[in-house]
Amino acid sequence: MRRARSLTRSPLPPDHECVAARGTGGRKRRKGKQRTGITMRDKRHLSLAAVPLAIGLAIAGNTARADDNWSDRFSFSGFASANYHITDDGAPYNGESGNGHDSKGSFQGTRIGLNFRADISERFNFAGQLFSTKDDEFGTHLDWGFGTLKLTDELDFRAGRIKYPAGLVGEYVDVGYAYPWISAPEVIYSELGAPNGPQITRESYTGVGLVGNHNAGDWTFGGNLFGGEVDLSDGSVRKLRGITVNADWNDLVLLQGTWYKGEMNDISAMPAMNGEDHEAWLLGARVDWNNVVVYSEYGHVEMGRIDAMQSDNWYATLGYRFGNLLPFINYQSLDKGKDASKSEQTIAGVGLRWDVMPRVALKAEINRIDTDKGEGLFAPGSQPGDEVMMYGFGLDTVF
Residue 362: pLDDT above 90? Answer: yes
Cα 144 from Cα 158, distance rounded (Å): 12
332 neighbors 187 (Cβ within 8 angstroms): yes
Predicted confidence band of residue 167 (pLDDT cuts 50, 70, 90): very high
Residue 245: pLDDT above 90? Answer: yes
Distance (Å) of CA 26 to CA 106, 219, 350: 41, 11, 35
Nearby residues of 353 by Cβ (< 8 Å), 6 or more positions away: 180, 319, 325, 326, 327, 328, 361, 362, 363
pLDDT for res 100: 86
Question: Is position 6 within any domain?
Answer: no
Residue 87: pLDDT above 50? Answer: yes
Lowest mean pLDDT segment, chosen from 43-52, 68-77, 95-104, 353-362: 43-52
Average pLDDT over residues 196-202: 87
Question: Is position 266 within any domain?
Answer: yes
* Alpha-helical segments (H) within 212-368: none
Predicted confidence band of residue 97 (pLDDT cuts 50, 70, 90): low
52 neighbors 171 (Cβ within 8 angstroms): yes
Cα 93 from Cα 386, distance rounded (Å): 13
Residue 161: pLDDT above 90? Answer: yes
266 neighbors 238 (Cβ within 8 angstroms): no
309 neighbors 195 (Cβ within 8 angstroms): yes
- Count how many residues are written for the chain: 399
Torsion angles phi and psi, residue 267, rounded to 5: -90, 95
pLDDT for res 119: 96
Question: Is position 252 within any domain?
Answer: yes
Average pLDDT over residues 259-268: 91
Average pLDDT over residues 28-45: 39
Question: Is position 2 within any domain?
Answer: no
User: In CATH, what number is assigned to the domain containing residue 155?
Assistant: 2.40.160.10
Average pLDDT over residues 3-9: 34
Is the peptide bond preceding residue 195 cis, with omega within 30 degrees of 0?
yes
Distance (Å) of CA 103 to CA 36, 364, 366: 41, 17, 14
Cα 340 from Cα 346, distance rounded (Å): 19
Query: Helices 40-48 and 14-22: crossing angle, nearest 10°?
Result: 60
Question: Is position 5 within any domain?
Answer: no
| 272-301 confidence digits (pLDDT tens) | 888 899 999 999 999 999 999 999 999 999
Question: Is position 123 within any domain?
Answer: yes
- Residue 16 parent element (H or E): helix 14-22
- Residue 18 parent element (H or E): helix 14-22
Average pLDDT over residues 145-158: 98
Cα 222 from Cα 366, distance rounded (Å): 36
- Complete DSSP assignment for 214-244: EEETTEEEEEEEEEEEEEETTEEEEEEEEEE
| 51-84 confidence digits (pLDDT tens) | 433 334 333 344 444 446 777 899 999 999 999 9
Question: Is position 200 within any domain?
Answer: yes
Q: Which residues of 294-329 are buried (b: 16+ CB within 10 A; e: fewer)?
A: ebbbbbbbbbbebebbbbebbbbbebebeeeebbbe
Q: Which residues of 8-45 are buried (b: 16+ CB within 10 A; e: fewer)?
A: bbbbbeeebbeebbebbbbbebeeeeeeebbbbbbbbb
Q: How many domains does the chain have?
A: 1
Domain containing residue 86: 14-398
pTM of the model: 0.82
Question: Is position 4 within any domain?
Answer: no
